[in-house]
Structure 1
Amino acid sequence: MPSHQTALSRALDNRTFLGLLFMLPAAAILLMFLTYPLGLGTWLGFTDTKIGRSGIWIGLENYEFLWGDAVTRLALFNTLFYTFVASVIKFALGLWLALLLNKHLPFKAFFRAVVLLPFIVPTALSALAFWWIYDAQFSVISWVLMRMGIIHQYIDFLGEPWLARFSTIAANIWRGVPFVAITLLAGLQTISPSYYEAASLDGASPWQQFRHVTLPMLTPIIAVVMTFSVLFTFTDFQLIYVLTRGGPLNATHLMATLSFQRAISGGNLGEGAAIATAMVPFLLAAILISYYGLQRRAWQQGSGDK
């Protein structure tokens, strides 16, 4: 009995064992609600399952069809274009806002709270607001531009393919910038002022301080922020579905919205699951980029000698 108690006490004193023990409930929940749906979706992608009818194994036929499907290729282009443009602009604006809010400004706490507003508003409500802003007949933007004499008729923001693409990107940027800004701001506040003082004594200009102090120290935070930004943008569904439902002429269909349309609206669960599964390699690539970005600056966390 004492030996068992000794073994148990040693195990409880082991931080690795305790960490694994405390992770078990979360791991069980993840297995139940994430791993099972992912496995089921992957399986359905290799079948011809439809709503109301069990399917049979058809191998790669769904993927072969999607490879030759013009709408799927367009959705892939839209997704990559949407993700790249929105993520780059969100990072640039978010970094600028973070640097601004990190300065000693009056009412800084108030401005930080205001910056968060777009992020905490439900996506569906944001999409409805933008739908009204972009409306072909009642657009606020068109009304202002007409009053200023810049245009002579209302702009159909969601009726023209490229206008619709950039309009949805603008809405995504508006929602995503606060997350990037606040997270980078938290990272900026962990950088010791002594680094800037030393750089200033060495004659470094503000740009040189930003380039050689701020950016290197922020690299781990940037890697994580950009990973989540890319993941959120690549898998965006609510904003697009409420604003355009993939139109006009499939110009704003993303992989997520096309998967929903084929699986739920069209009833072809196998095809929809194949589209969703095809998104996984792109998401894994984003995670790997983040991992290598973190490894590159691991020495900042004191692990460079390990």
Structure 2
Amino acid sequence: MAVTAVAGAEARPIPRLRRLEDERWLALALLMPTAILLGLFIAYPFFEGVLLSLTSQRVGVPGEFVGLKNFVKIWNDSIFRTTVWNTFWYTGVTTVFKLALGLWLAMLLNRHFKGKALVRAFILLPFIIPTVLSTFAWKWMFDPTFSVINWALFHLGLITQRINWLGDPDLAMTSIIVVNIWRGVPFFAISLLAGLQTISPELNEAAAIDGARPWNRFWYVTWPLLLPVTMVVMLFSVIQTFADFQLVYVMTGGGPANATHLFATYAYQLGIGTGLLSEGAAISLAMFPFLFIIVVVQLLYIRRVETR
């Protein structure tokens, strides 16, 4: 019985698929979905905000083109100047304390002890709990009538009358700083702990054999190797803290007497609360140059540290 073999013609690749063999076309095809999403949800709202800030639009009123009039108006606003100071003070103080406490916790969690995994999971709870939920709990703790903090200080003999934590401008600012530090320390601790895990213990052992004390081993061995990770963590923390909204809005709403406003809360109050959409957009955009400069400086420093 004869068997005839029929040689089939080799299937030629589709011209469109043949382009994907080129790395440039493949990279473009893979990046296109991300570029479209970024354009729709970030670039488009940003440019719409720029156009809105250059008009006199209000809720229900289209408005006209006014140029930089809104920016001049908010710059002459005393509340806006207070907002700028509050934002920088809030971001600076919280970042320093979160770094110090997070590094201290990371050094402790890097040791070997029983229940280490459970403790690490427990440390993450403040960061995992939804911001609004945990902030409501803190707001109740700072309440002058039902405050557990006032109750504890009274029974310790440190105070003789109730403290209105959120009713005093200075105490209100201190309160939101404390809550932000409480929420941010776990992020620093776990991130820095991951960085510590990458450092070889042999380096510290060699330094100890040479007679270096614990502080010297940390300053000359651990810290230089941990610095790149630290700068990246600080960069994300500064961006998130600078544009913080939920925590301040839930606790104080920018009060008392507009004393705790940040860029985001003041922009929301003007844009949504009073209907001045164009001025609210101008305040939101005023945050961009400050944040852009901070991020660029940090990125340049990170690059400098990594190239050492």
- Shared fold (TM-score greater than 0.5)? yes
**CA 1:204 to 1:23, structure 2 compared with 1: closer, same or farther past 3 Å?**
farther
Deviations along 1:133-174, one digit per CA (max 9) or x if unpaired, are 000111000011112222111110001110000001001111
Task: Tell me, in whole angstroms, the C-alpha distance in 2 between the residues paired with 1:271 and 1:94.
Answer: 38
1:270 to 269, 274, 278: 278
Q: Which residue number in structure 2 is paired with residue 118 of structure 1?
A: 126
Task: Tell me, in whole angstroms, the C-alpha distance in 1 between the residues paired with 2:302 and 2:154.
Answer: 49
For the Cα contact (< 8 Å) 2:145–2:162, is it kept in 1?
yes
For the Cα contact (< 8 Å) 2:70–2:279, is it kept in 1?
yes
Deviations along 1:268-304, one digit per CA (max 9) or x if unpaired, are 01000000000011221232133123212334xxxx7
Task: Tell me, in whole angstroms, the C-alpha distance in 2 between the residues paired with 1:109 and 1:34.
Answer: 38
For the Cα contact (< 8 Å) 2:138–2:179, is it kept in 1?
yes
Task: Tell me, in whole angstroms, the C-alpha distance in 2 between the residues paired with 1:126 and 1:2.
Answer: 57
Which amino acid counterpart does residue 256 of structure 2 have in structure 1?
Answer: P
More deviation in 158-167 or 24-33?
Answer: 24-33
Task: Tell me, in whole angstroms, the C-alpha distance in 2 between the residues paired with 1:3 and 1:37.
Answer: 38
Q: Which residue number in structure 2 is paired with residue 135 of structure 1?
A: 143
Q: Which residue number in structure 1 is paired with residue 181 of structure 2?
A: 173
Task: Tell me, in whole angstroms, the C-alpha distance in 1 between the residues paired with 2:16 and 2:142.
Answer: 69
> Secondary structure of 1:22's match?
helix
Which amino acid counterpart does residue 65 of structure 1 have in structure 2?
Answer: K
For the Cα contact (< 8 Å) 2:20–2:26, is it kept in 1?
no
Q: Which residue number in structure 2 is paired with residue 47 of structure 1?
A: 55
For the Cα contact (< 8 Å) 1:119–1:175, is it kept in 2?
yes
2:162 to 151, 154, 158: 154
Matched, 1:196 2:204: yes
> Secondary structure of 1:297's match?
helix
Q: Which residue number in structure 1 is paired with residue 223 of structure 2?
A: 215
Task: Tell me, in whole angstroms, the C-alpha distance in 2 between the residues paired with 1:183 and 1:23.
Answer: 28
2:108 to 100, 103, 113: 100
Q: Percent identity?
A: 49
> Secondary structure of 1:191's match?
coil
Unaligned runs of 5+ in 2: 1-11
What is the 5 A alignment of 1:1-306? 8=19, 10-11=21-22, 14=23, 18-299=26-307
> Secondary structure of 2:31's match?
helix
Task: Tell me, in whole angstroms, the C-alpha distance in 1 between the residues paired with 2:84 and 2:157.
Answer: 38
Task: Tell me, in whole angstroms, the C-alpha distance in 1 between the residues paired with 2:306 and 2:271.
Answer: 43
Task: Tell me, in whole angstroms, the C-alpha distance in 1 between the residues paired with 2:305 and 2:25.
Answer: 28
What number of residue pairs does the alignment pair up?
A: 297
Which amino acid counterpart does residue 24 of structure 1 have in structure 2?
Answer: M
For the Cα contact (< 8 Å) 1:220–1:293, is it kept in 2?
no
Task: Tell me, in whole angstroms, the C-alpha distance in 2 between the residues paired with 1:270 and 1:209.
Answer: 55
> Secondary structure of 1:137's match?
coil
Deviations along 1:7-42, one digit per CA (max 9) or x if unpaired, are 64741xx4x654443222122111110111111111
**What's the CA shift for 1:105?**
2.1
For the Cα contact (< 8 Å) 2:91–2:241, is it kept in 1?
yes
- TM-score, normalised with respect to structure 1: 0.92
**What's the CA shift for 1:202?**
2.7
> Secondary structure of 2:166's match?
coil
Question: What is the CA RMSD across the aligned residues, in angstroms?
Answer: 1.9
Which amino acid counterpart does residue 28 of structure 1 have in structure 2?
Answer: I
Unaligned runs of 5+ in 1: none
Deviations along 1:101-149, one digit per CA (max 9) or x if unpaired, are 0111221111111110000111111110011000011100001111222
Which amino acid counterpart does residue 34 of structure 1 have in structure 2?
Answer: I
Task: Tell me, in whole angstroms, the C-alpha distance in 2 between the residues paired with 1:115 and 1:59.
Answer: 49
Task: Tell me, in whole angstroms, the C-alpha distance in 1 between the residues paired with 2:210 and 2:289.
Answer: 46
Task: Tell me, in whole angstroms, the C-alpha distance in 1 between the residues paired with 2:169 and 2:302.
Answer: 38
- TM-score, normalised with respect to structure 2: 0.91
**What's the CA shift for 1:190?**
1.0
**CA 1:24 to 1:157, structure 2 compared with 1: closer, same or farther past 3 Å?**
same
